Structure 1
Amino acid sequence: MTSSPADLMRRNLLEVFNEPDPARRAAAIAATYSEDVVWHEPDRILRGRKELERRAEELRAENPDWVFQPVGTASELDDIGHLGFQYGPAGRPAVTGMDIARTEDGVVIELYTIVTEIHQPS
């Protein structure tokens, strides 16, 4: 069964970047992204599943109590998927943004993460 772009966006956020278990995260990465996926973050470009997996682990280690939460529902147009997110301590987002992905044959081939706002602590 081929995953839709919207399904891939939900999996990207919840099963990859929210997953604390490295083995489950690695399995989700293998099912979600092409081997040569390209991920554009605001300050870097990563190439390949291994780099994406390493960066996901870094994000978890930097803020182990933070979670990603979807904002709205995942949407799609042809081979493009989109999902807004919040990232921070549960119920107190520190960052908001969106992920946009190009997909092909049921996997993400290119991912763009756009940060739209960084919230100052109150």
Structure 2
Amino acid sequence: MTLSPADLMRRNLLDVFNEPDPARRAAAIAETYAADVIWHEAEQIMHGRKELEHRAEELRAENPDWVFRPAGPASELDDIGHLGFHYGPAGQSPVVVGMDIARTQDGTIIELYTIVTEIHPPA
């Protein structure tokens, strides 16, 4: 079954970046992203699944009690997917608000852009 861009956006946020188990996260990465995926963050660009996996591990280690939550439904247009997110301590107001936008091909993400739109100091 080929996943839609909206499905891939939900999977990217919830099955990859919220997954605490490294083996399950690696399996989700293998199924969600192309082998040569490119991920753009404000201060760096990652190339390939291994660099993406390493960055996901870094984010989990920096804030182990924080979670990503969708900020509304995922949307899509042709091969582009979009999903806004909130990121912060579970059950509390978000510290970070942003969005992911991805180009997809054949049911995988080939290029991902993460844009942070607001940062609030933790309460």
Cα distance per residue 1:53-73 (max 9 Å; x no partner)? 000000000000000000000
1:99 offset after TM fit, Å? 0.1
Q: Is 1:14 paired with 2:41? A: no
Deviations 1:71-99 (A, max 9, x none): 00000000000000000101221100000
Structure 1 Cα separation of the partners of residues 13 and 5 of structure 2? 13
Distance across 1 between alignment mates of 2:2 and 2:57? 27
Aligned to 2:115: 114
**Identity percentage of aligned residues:** 80
Corresponding residue SS for 2:72? strand
Structure 1 partner of 2:51: 51
Distance 1:100 1:8 in 2: 11
- Structure 2: how far apart are the matches of 1:27 and 1:115? 26
Q: Tell me how many residue pairs correspond in the alignment.
A: 122
TM-score (norm 1): 0.98
TM-score by length of 2: 0.98
CA distance in 2, matches of 1:46, 1:54: 9
Alpha-carbon separation, structure 1, partners of 2:79 and 2:23? 28
Runs of 4+ in 1 over 3 A off after TM superposition: none
Question: 1:17-64 CA distances to partner (integer Å, 9 max, x unpaired)?
Answer: 000000000000000000000000011000000000000000000000
Can you give the 5+ residue segments of structure 1 that lack an aligned partner in the other structure?
Answer: none
Q: Could you tell me how far 1:120 is from its partner in structure 2?
A: 2.1
d(CA) in 1 for partners of 2:4, 2:57: 25
Is 1:40 the counterpart of 2:51 in the alignment? no
1:105 alignment counterpart: 106
Tell me, what secondary structure is at the counterpart of 2:122?
coil
CA distance in 1: counterparts of 2:27 and 2:55, whole angstroms: 15
